[in-house]
A and B are shown apart, each in its own frame.
Chain A
C-alpha cells in the first residue's frame, strides 16, 4: 500500500457501494421472504406437482395401465375419480400424467433452449451472413402456424415420444432464438466483450463466460413461459390424437378420451366434472408457473420498490 496523500486519500478506502456479503442461500431466503403471495402460491403448486411426478408409483393407488371391469365407473371408494372409457382408474392416470406430461415438456423446453439459445448467441456475436441465414430461416419457420406445422411433421415422422420432443423443441426454439439474439446483441456490444475479443478469446468463451451470465434473467423467465406453452402444445396434440400415445397416461389425451362424459353432467355432476380434472391440472400448473415467472421478471427488472 502506498502512503495516503495529504487529503487522506487511499484507493482502498474509496467508498464503493456498501453491501453486506451474503451467501447464495441467504440471498435466496431474502428474496423468498419478500415474494408476493401469488409467487408463493405458484411455488407451492409447482412443488406439489413435482412431488407427485417424482413419487407417482408410490402415490398412485393402481398401475398406470391397469384395466378394471367397469368403464366409466362412478366416483366411489375404490375409484376416487371413477374410471375412464376402458376402465382405467382416473386418479392413477392423473398422477402418472403429471410425470409424463411434465417430463416431456421439460425435456422439450431444455432442448429448445439449447438449440435456440446456442444459435441465438452465435448469431448475436457473429452478426454476418450467418446471422442473416439463421434469422431468416427462423422467420420462415415462424411464418407457418405452429400447431399445424407440428401436426404435419408428426404425420411425416411416426408419432413417438422422441419425435414429439424433437419437433416441438425445434419449432419452439425459433422464439428462444429471437429472444436470445435480441438480448445478446445488447451485451455483445459492451466494452467487456470487446476486451475479451481483444484478448483473443474464442467464440465459446465469449458465449459462455462473457455473454450468457448477463442474459440469464430474461432467459430464465422465458424458460418458465416456454415450459407452459410446450405443455399446452403437447396437451393439444395429445387431444388431437398425435401426441403422447396410449397406454402412456397424459392429461391432454385424458381430456379427449373422457370428453363425452360431459353430457352426463345433467344426471351426475361428478361424472360431468371428470374430463375437466386433467384440464384443471393443466390450467393450474400453467397459472402457477406464470405467477413465479412474473415475480422473477419483476425482481430482475431492476425496478426498485418504492418504500
Chain B
C-alpha cells in the first residue's frame, strides 16, 4: 500500500504511527482559511481545508492552477505570501500552533524543521553565492553542527542525490549547473538541516521528461532515507502517483477528496477527480500525407559560432501534424526559429509550397510571413500586456488583409467564437485571462492571419491537464475545419499521442528518426527514442520503481 516502504523495506507508513494513539501527527492543519487581497477586496483563496500528515508520510497535493495548492503548501509552514492572510484555523506542527507563534519563532522553524523547495530553482538561488554556501546556510544559521561537518554532510547529500562530481559541484555558482542539477541541489539544501517536513512546490514542472525522472528518483530516495515527511505539490498526476502515499485533490480552495494513492488512482470517488484522470486518454488516428507543404532540407544552423543544428530534414505534409520531440537543448525550438527566419540557417534551404523561402526574416514578403504563424509556450509573454484582446486579434486582420471597421469587428467576433470564447472578452487585457484563455487568444491571433502552417512551440506544457485537453481538442478541430498543418514542438509524449500524425525525434541537434506515429512509438526504437519514451511518467504508482529497476 505504501509505495515507498515497498521499495526500501523500511516501514514508516501511517499505520505504524496510528497504532500509537498518543503520537500526534507531525502536521495537523485544521479548518484553514486564507484570503488574498486584490482589486481592493479580500478574496477567499483557501476555504477551510484540513490536512493531516504523519511523520515520514508524503502527501501529494494536486489540482488545476488557481486551486490554492501553493498557498496551502506555504500555509503548512505558517507562511502567507505578501497580500495574503490567515483568517481562521490553526496549523499544528508537532503539536504547536505555529500561527500563534511570533514571527521570529516561526523563522527559527523554517529551513531547519520545515524546508521548502521552490518550483524554479534558477530563480530561487542567489546567483552571487556558491551552491555549497547556500546549501548549508540554514544549518549554519541554526548552529546545528560545526560548519565543516555541514560541508561534509552537504557533499554526502549531493552524492546521494546522484549529482555529478559531488566533491566539487558545491564550489560552482547557480548558473554553472543545469536546471535538473540545480533542483537537486535545492533538495540537498532543504535536507541539510534534516527537517521533519519538506514542501515541494512543483519541483519538476520546469524540467523535461528525461531529467524529471532522475530528479524524482533522487528526491524520493533521499526523503525515504531520512524518513522526512513531505508535501508534494504538482498538477501532473503521473508524477504525484510516483511520489505520494496519499493524494489530496483541491479545487477552488476546497478539498475535493483525499485517499491513498492506489485507491485514488483505481477508484476515485468524485466526478471531478475522474475527469482529471481521463485527460490522458485523448488520441488522434494518424493519417499519412503526401502533399508536403513545408520542408526543411539539410539545414545547419548556429548561434554565433556555436553550431546547434546539423543536417536537419523535416517534412510537414499539408493538413497534418508533425510532432517534434526531444529534451531541452536538442534543437527543437531552434528549428522553429530557422523556419520563421529569425535565425537564418548557415546551410540548407526551407521549401514552402514548392518555392524556396528567403533565409532571413527581413527578406520575406508579407504574404510569406502571413502563411507561417507561430504560437508560443508562454502565452503570458507572447501577448503585449498593454493591449486588449481586440487589439491583439485585430492587428493581423488589419495588417495582412487590410480589413478595418465593422468588417474587422465581425471577423474578431467570429475568431473568438472559433476559439470557444465570446465577445465579452473583447476589452480584456491578458492579465485578466486564465492560462488556457491566454493560449486560446494566441491561437486566434495566429488564425487571424489565415495561415497554411502553424508552428506550435510547447503550447500546452505550461497548462494543467484539463486545460491542455481543451486546447488540443481545439487545435484538432481547427485542423479539420481549415486544413492547417501543425509543426508541434513538445517534450510531452501524451500530447504527441493526442495530436500528431508523424513524429520527429531530435537529439543534440540531429534528427534521430522521422516517421508515422505508430512506427515511432512501437518498438524497436533507436536508443535515444527508447530513453525518451520510457521516461514519460505513467499513472501506475509502481512505474518509477519498475523503471529504475529495469534501468539499473
Contacts and interface: CB of A to CB of B under 8 A. Distances in A.
Contacts of B82: 303-304, 306
Interface stretch (A16-24, A130-138, A275-283): A16-24
A122 B469 CA distance: 42
Contact of A199 (B271, B276, B396): B396
B540 to A, nearest CB: 23
Given A16-B437, A17-B38, A191-B376, A200 B369 contact: yes
B307 to A, nearest CB: 22
A290 to B, nearest CB: 26
Nearest to B416: A12
A45 B437 CA distance: 46
A1 B381 contact: no
Contact of B386 (A12, A18, A30, A214): A214
Interface string B17-60: 00000000000000000000111100100000000000000000
Interface in A150-198: 190-192, 194-195, 197-198
B361 A198 contact: yes
Contacts of A191: 376, 378, 381-382
Contacts of B373: 198
A7 B420 contact: no
Contacts of A6: 271, 275, 278
Interface in B330-377: 340-342, 361, 364, 366, 369, 373-374, 376
Contact of B374 (A16, A195, A209): A195
A21 B425 CA distance: 12
B437 A14 contact: yes
A14 B40 contact: no
B402 interface: no
Given A191-B381, A199-B369, A199-B396, A11 B421 contact: yes
Contacts of B271: 6-7
A198 B340 contact: yes
A195 B420 CA distance: 23
A260 interface: no
A15 interface: yes
A213 B383 CA distance: 13
Dominant secondary structure of chain A at its interface with chain B: loop
Contacts of A198: 340-342, 361, 369, 373-374
Interface string B433-471: 111110010000100010000000000000000110110
Contacts of B437: 11-12, 14, 16
B419 A11 contact: yes
B176 interface: no
B402 to A, nearest CB: 13
Contacts of A7: 271-272, 275-276, 466
Interface in B403-429: 417, 419-422, 425, 427-428
A124 to B, nearest CB: 16
B41 to A, nearest CB: 8
Given A307-B37, A307-B83, A213 B384 contact: yes
Interface of B: 37-40, 43, 66, 82-83, 85, 252, 271-272, 275-276, 278, 340-342, 361, 364, 366, 369, 373-374, 376, 378, 381-387, 395-396, 399-400, 417, 419-422, 425, 427-428, 431-437, 440, 445, 449, 466-467, 469-470, 474
24 contacts: A5-B469, A5-B470, A6-B271, A12-B422, A15-B66, A15-B252, A16-B432, A17-B432, A19-B431, A19-B432, A20-B40, A30-B40, A191-B378, A191-B382, A195-B376, A197-B342, A198-B374, A213-B387, A214-B385, A303-B82, A304-B37, A304-B82, A306-B83, A307-B83
6 tightest Cβ-Cβ pairs between the two chains A and B: A7-B275, A213-B386, A14-B434, A304-B83, A191-B382, A16-B434
Interface of A: 1-2, 5-7, 9-12, 14-21, 30, 190-192, 194-195, 197-201, 209-210, 213-214, 303-307
